Each structure stands twice: as C-alpha cells, then as structure tokens.
C-alpha cells in the first residue's frame, strides 16, 4: 500500500487541529474522564477507518455507484476540506450547529462526547471515509488492505497521543502554531485531492487520459 494513503489520511484527520475542540468539550472533566474520552475517540476513529476500508466498496456496489464517480465526488469533498484547512479550520469543520450543541449538552451532563462530535464529524467525517474507500479500491491483496487498516491503527494512536498531550501542545504551539500546521496540512491535502479527481475523470472520460499522455 502506497504511503500516500497514510499521508492523505493523516492530513485530513489532523488530530492537532482538533485539540482546541478536545480542550473545550472536556472542560471540568476529571483526568479519568478525559482518559476515557481519549481512548474512546481514538478507538472510534480506528473503527470508522477500518469499516470504510472493509465495507466501503460493497456499499458502493449495493448502490451501483462507479468508483470513478466516487473518486470525482470524493476528490471534490477532499478539496473542500483542504480549503477549510487553508482557512485554519479543521478538515471536517462542516459540523452542523445542532451536532456541536448536542456535544456541549453531553459534556454538561458528564456524558462522553468522544464519538460525537470529536470522532464524527470533527476527526473522521465524510471526506475521511471517502478517502479510505478510494484507497481500498487500489488494494489488490489482503496484505495491502490490512496495511490500510493498519494505517487506521497508527492514526488512532497519533490521535490518542495528541489528545493526551493536548494542554502542553496548546501551550507550546499556541493558536497561531496550530493554524500554521492546519494550513500546511491543507496545502498537502489540496494537491492530493486534485490527483484523486484527475484519476477519476480519466476513468470517466478516457479521452482526457489519452490527451494528457500525448501532450
């Protein structure tokens, strides 16, 4: 499996960019409660990536959606996420207001907010899921597919580490540092999004691929 898949996923999940949300939603939580949120969010992040890798293509087949069409749509979604990040917002910042309000409500009641909104939609929203499905199609062996799922494990661990060190990271980087990191990841993601869209368009319109080769 190409390491490009790992870089893309890491760029779009971008746990450091979610640190301010983690700090906000866990205000007033005890250390034990914060640890529970960290491990639940990390495990949920892995589950979303693994489920998308193992079942995403079957879902597309069920709805009779071609992968080329999905690549173009997913690429557009990735590009939108990249534009969000270039404006120093999390890639999955398109969380509905009611989802944020629900998360705050749960925090006020002392319930876990690890799954909503931290994991979905902030860490692993539609753009992340579509990216995993696109790379799952390129996995031609079980080893390659297992590697993609393994990337989910690594990203879950990075998420856990980022949240565990949330307060020191926030102090060291500050909001400016987090914004710079988010914009850098957004620039990388924008380039990868264009590549995914170009691949999908070449499959939908083969003449585009031939034109690119002859030019």
The answer to whether 1 and 147 are in contact (CB under 8 A) is yes
For residue 184, pLDDT over 90 is answered with no
Residue 197 falls inside a structural domain? yes
Q: What is the pLDDT of residues 99-155, one digit of tens each?
A: 555 555 544 433 468 887 788 878 998 888 988 998 998 888 999 999 999 999 999
Q: Is residue 210 part of a domain?
A: no
211 part of a folded domain: no
CA–CA distance from 83 to each of 52, 90, 94 (Å)?
Answer: 23, 10, 12
- Residue with the bigger pLDDT between 77 and 52: it is 52
170's tokens: 């926030």
**pLDDT tens, 16-70?**
888 888 887 787 788 888 999 999 999 999 999 999 999 988 988 888 888 788 8
Domain boundaries, position 152: 3-202
Number of domains in the chain: 1
Residues 150, 46: Cα–Cα separation, whole Å: 9
**pLDDT score, position 173:** 80
Q: How far is CA 212 from CA 159, 160, 197, 204, in A?
A: 39, 43, 14, 14
- Under 8 Å CB-to-CB from 173, ≥6 apart: which residues? 16, 181
């Amino acid at each position: 499996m190409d390491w490009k898949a790992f870089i893309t996923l890491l760029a779009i999940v971008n746990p450091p960019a979610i640190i301010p949300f983690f700090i906000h939603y866990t205000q007033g939580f005890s250390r034990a409660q914060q640890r529970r949120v960290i491990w639940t969010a990390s495990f949920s992040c892995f589950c979303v990536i693994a489920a998308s890798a193992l079942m995403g293509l079957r879902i597309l087949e069920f709805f009779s959606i071609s992968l080329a069409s999905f690549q173009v749509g997913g690429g557009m979604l990735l590009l939108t996420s990249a534009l969000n990040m270039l404006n120093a917002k999390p890639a999955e910042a398109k969380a509905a207001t009611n989802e944020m309000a629900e998360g705050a409500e749960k925090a006020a009641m002392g319930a876990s907010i690890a799954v909503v909104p931290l994991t979905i939609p902030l860490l692993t929203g539609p753009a992340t899921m579509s990216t995993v499905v696109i790379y799952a199609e390129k996995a031609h062996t079980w080893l390659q597919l297992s590697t993609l799922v393994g990337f989910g494990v690594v990203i879950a661990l990075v998420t856990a580490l980022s949240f565990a060190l949330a307060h020191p990271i926030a102090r060291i980087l500050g909001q400016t540092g987090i914004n710079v990191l988010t914009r850098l990841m957004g620039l990388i993601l924008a380039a990868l999004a264009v590549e995914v869209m170009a691949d999908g368009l070449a499959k939908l319109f083969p003449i585009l691929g031939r034109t690119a080769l002859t030019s």
